[in-house]
Amino acid sequence: MQVAHRGREFRATGVAGNDRMIIRKSREEIGKMREAGRIVAGVLDMLVEHIRPGVATETLNRLADEYIRERNGVPSFLGYRGFPASICTSINDVVVHGIPGKTRMKEGDIIGIDVGVILDGYQADAARTYAVGEISEVAARLMEVTRRSLQAGIAACRAGNRLGDVSHSIQRVVEEGGFSVVVQFVGHGIGRDMHEEPQIPNFGPPGRGPVLQPGMTFALEPMVNEGTYEVRVEDDGWTVRTVDRKLSAHFEHTVAVTEGEPMILTLA
């Protein structure tokens, strides 16, 4: 989701002072999100064999939409604030929110695919970045660092930690990997709605923000750039691209805070 204020300003504030209500879910509700998440993960797994040179992104969108509906899910992105497709397909310098269309994947591309599903009134949201054929060393490293930053964020989703601990864990992995964190877009709470409180920046100091409690459910989604952190939304109102046209990667899971280990809800 896009933050209400611009990067530099937001960096100063981080998550401190965000005391709006975070909705905690019951065990039953988390179970429903887990079922929605199973479909999301199924889409991302199913698409693997279709991620290859020459395949158009609208084909991926059609396959995903069919997969979701065959399982009685609803693609949550379709029609969201007018978004025209069921998934987002973001190639190379597109950070997030790429619109599927006639564009065909080419050897050496990386493509981020973001999927959201509603099932029985509850939502799950996840994304992966895939290699199209053989990719460059820097592209592979960017994907690996982004994936690891998500894992670090998930590991910090423990009762008693603060939200800033999650943000900071992600930022540290990204910056130690030599890449930069997008600040204009952030992760989010999720549940009955796709975007609930809190906003979850992928950066900021540890030890700040709300204390995590069992039943909180978050979509963590580091967006990581090869070059500058700066991004721009294109004239279509959706496509977010790096300002320097260098690569960007995106991984996302929906996660529940529990009494013990963090629970990933978007697994097959």
Min dist. Cβ of residue 259 to Mg ion (A): 25
Which of residues 109 and 221 has its CB atom nearest to Mg ion in the complex? Answer: 221
Which of residues 40 and 173 has its CB atom nearest to Mg ion in the complex? Answer: 40
219 binds Mg ion (CB under 5 A): yes
Which of residues 88 and 156 has its CB atom nearest to Mg ion in the complex? Answer: 88
Give residue 229's region: left, alpha or beta (phi > 0; psi -120 to 50).
alpha
Min dist. Cβ of residue 40 to Mg ion (A): 11
Which of residues 63 and 219 has its CB atom nearest to Mg ion in the complex? Answer: 219
**Using CB atoms within 10 A of its CB, is residue 81 exposed (0-12), middle (13-18) or buried (19+)?**
exposed
- Count the helices and strands in the chain (H runs, E runs): 5, 15
Q: In 10 A of CB 72, how many CB atoms?
A: 11
Q: Which stretch binds Mg ion (CB under 5 A): 57-65, 121-129, 132-140, 169-177?
A: 121-129
Q: How far apart are CA 116 and CA 120, in angstroms?
A: 13
Q: What is the DSSP letter of 158?
A: -
Residues 225-244 contacting Mg ion, CB under 5 A: none
Q: Which stretch binds Mg ion (CB under 5 A): 78-86, 146-154, 171-179, 221-229?
A: 221-229
Min dist. Cβ of residue 127 to Mg ion (A): 7
Min dist. Cβ of residue 97 to Mg ion (A): 10
Task: Let me know: does 43 contact 115? Beta carbons within 8 Å.
Answer: yes
Q: In 10 A of CB 133, how many CB atoms?
A: 12
125 binds Mg ion (CB under 5 A): yes
Residue 205 preceded by cis peptide, ω within 30 = no
Min dist. Cβ of residue 151 to Mg ion (A): 17
Q: Which stretch binds Mg ion (CB under 5 A): 9-17, 117-125, 177-185, 236-244?
A: 117-125
Which of residues 126 and 173 has its CB atom nearest to Mg ion in the complex? Answer: 126
Which of residues 84 and 106 has its CB atom nearest to Mg ion in the complex? Answer: 84
**Using CB atoms within 10 A of its CB, is residue 244 exposed (0-12), middle (13-18) or buried (19+)?**
middle
Contacts to Mg ion by CB under 5 A: 125, 219, 221
